[in-house]
């Protein structure tokens, strides 16, 4: 009788330990997947300014395209780019790359 209780205790302890390790493993795996997904599918607005180029990620609409002025809208406001020979080098659903001689950038 005592040995049966001891075996049940060992089995229950092993089952609980295995379950908690499995839950921790799944939780850690989900964190990695979420970080990877966030990296691949950027969902926050960002703007990177380089020499004679601006890369805008997660814009909503383009208000104006001109060789001297471009207006770009995003969830948090408006970007006004003033310059000369402004052109769109790349235009995707959520990202644009603008090149030209950039005089100033206004964030509203």
Tens of each residue's pLDDT in the chain, 108 residues? 455 555 555 555 555 555 666 667 777 887 887 777 777 777 778 899 998 999 999 898 999 999 999 999 998 899 999 999 999 998 888 899 999 999 999 998
DSSP sequence for 49-105: EETTEEEEES--EEEEE-SSEEEEEETTEEEEEEEEEEEEEEE-SSEEEEEEEEEEE
Q: Phi then psi for 38, rounded to 5 degrees?
A: -65, -35
The residue whose two tokens read 């005592």 is 2
Residue pair 81/54 in contact by the 8 Å Cβ criterion: yes
């Amino acid at each position: 009788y005592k040995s049966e209780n001891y075996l049940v205790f060992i089995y229950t302890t092993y089952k609980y330990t295995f379950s908690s390790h499995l839950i921790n493993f799944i939780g850690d795996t989900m964190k990695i997947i979420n970080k990877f997904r966030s990296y691949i599918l950027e969902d926050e607005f960002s703007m990177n300014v380089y020499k004679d180029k601006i890369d805008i990620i997660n814009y909503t609409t383009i208000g104006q395209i001109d060789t001297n002025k471009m207006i770009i809208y995003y969830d948090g406001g408006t970007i006004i780019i003033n310059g000369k020979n402004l052109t769109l080098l790349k235009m995707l659903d959520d990202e644009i790359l603008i090149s030209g001689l950039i005089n100033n950038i206004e964030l509203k």
